[in-house]
Amino acid sequence: ARAAAVDAPPSPGALADGTKIALLANLGKPADAAEAVARGAEGVGLFRTEFLFLSASQAPTVAEQRTSYRDLLSAFPGKKVVVRMLDAGADKPLAFLNDAHEENPALGLRGLRSLRASEDILREQLTALAEADAETEADLWVMAPMVTTVEETKYFTGLAREYGLKTAGVMVEVPASALLADRVLAHADFASIGTNDLTQYTMAADRMLGSVALFQNPWHPAVLRLVGEVGAAGARTSKPVGVCGEAAADPLLALVLVGLGVTSLSMAPAALADVRLALSERTLDETRRLAEIALAADDAAGARNAVAEAFTDLP
């Protein structure tokens, strides 16, 4: 029986009381899909499309993109696959999209802002995705990076619907959109919290700069309070709220995120097993208690220590 259990496919993510928390994969290229499936990913929570663009001196053609998206989607029949529109700028500059001379690229024309400035690239991406969607069985969700305002939300979801894409949402990785999450979600089908950038922008510390790396910690209660705003808005509007930043891969922090209202977690496939195990050990009420403990701390280290202690003390 023991050998059979080892061979059985990993079970879907669930808390000890049965509450389902979808465990999804962050992927950077279609070739990584097989490993994610083997590790029990229930779909893809973040497909970074930058890989198609980063090595190119100009944007890939619609046909090239369609092939890649089709390869990705066909690995997940019947499963959710969230594809993020090109997130260029700041830490991922593209010669044909970004101005290399910005003094503060993280605060500049990046993410959806740069796509909007070159709308043809965004339209080509949506065209390729709609074509790949029509040829495959996956449940395709599209989302925009670095969305800051309600107006940007309306712009992107409106455009996605023009292309017949049914499910369109936004990444919440800027405090402004976290604080207005109710109004953002009024115009989006879902939100996915990018804790890497949300931490950078909340703590005002460049995530690329080693000298301020200590600030880049998603355990900080200020970051968690913003996550809680989005989770609560998701519950009020009955819209799914996921996390696709590195925070989701930390088993203890994953419990806190769930306690803050997050309903799916997306991470590097190698992290799935540990997070699945942590979730299975605690109920929703217990994750909410852990979240309160984290929010009451003064700083990131205090939050982590207090939650670790409380986790051990729980029966």
Residues forming contacts to ligand PEP in the complex (CB under 6 A) are 46, 48, 87, 173, 194-197, 244-245
- Which of these segments, 20-28, 32-40, 172-180, 260-268, binds Mg ion (CB under 5 A)? 172-180
3-state secondary structure of 242: strand
Interface of this chain with Mg ion, residues 215 to 274, rule: CB under 5 A: none
Measured from the CB atom, the residue of 72 and 90 that comes closer to Mg ion is 90
Residue 217 contact among Mg ion, ligand PEP, none, beta carbon within 5 to 8 Å by kind: none
CB of 255 to ligand PEP, least distance (A): 18
Does residue 173 have a known ligand-binding role?
A: yes
| Per-residue binder mask for Mg ion (CB under 5 A), 185-224, x = binder | ---------x--x---------------------------
Catalytic position from the list 244, 272, 290, 291: 244
CB of 54 to ligand PEP, least distance (A): 12
| Per-residue binder mask for Mg ion (CB under 5 A), 87-126, x = binder | ----------------------------------------
Three-state SS string across 152-213, please? HHHHHHHHHHHCCCCEEEEEECCHHHHHCHHHHHCCCCCEEECHHHHHHHHHCCCCCCHHHH
Residue of 233, 238, 259, 234 whose CA lies nearest to 21? 259
CB of 277 to ligand PEP, least distance (A): 23
Residue 48 contact among Mg ion, ligand PEP, none, beta carbon within 5 to 8 Å by kind: ligand PEP
Residue 60 contact among Mg ion, ligand PEP, none, beta carbon within 5 to 8 Å by kind: none
CB of 155 to ligand PEP, least distance (A): 20
3-state secondary structure of 95: coil
On the 0-12 / 13-18 / 19+ scale of CB atoms within 10 A, 134 is exposed
Does residue 276 have a known ligand-binding role?
A: no
The yes-or-no answer on residue 4 being catalytic is no
Residue of 207, 201, 199, 196 whose CA lies nearest to 223? 199
Does residue 197 have a known ligand-binding role?
A: yes
The rounded distance, in Å, linking the Cα atoms of 153 and 157 is: 6
Residue 152 contact among Mg ion, ligand PEP, none, beta carbon within 5 to 8 Å by kind: none
CB of 196 to Mg ion, least distance (A): 5
Q: 217-229 b/e with 16+ CB inside 10 Å = b?
A: bbbbbebbebbbb
The rounded distance, in Å, linking the Cα atoms of 186 and 246 is: 27
Measured from the CB atom, the residue of 65 and 199 that comes closer to ligand PEP is 199
Measured from the CB atom, the residue of 124 and 173 that comes closer to ligand PEP is 173
For Mg ion (CB under 5 A), the number of binding residues is 3
Sign of the CA dihedral with 134 first, then 139, 144, and 148 last: positive
Does residue 152 have a known ligand-binding role?
A: no
What amino acid occupies position 90?
A
What is the token pair recorded at 59? 């944007």
Measured from the CB atom, the residue of 48 and 220 that comes closer to ligand PEP is 48
The rounded distance, in Å, linking the Cα atoms of 261 and 233 is: 9
The rounded distance, in Å, linking the Cα atoms of 39 and 3 is: 17
Q: What are the residues binding Mg ion (CB under 5 A)?
A: 173, 194, 197
Active site residues: 244
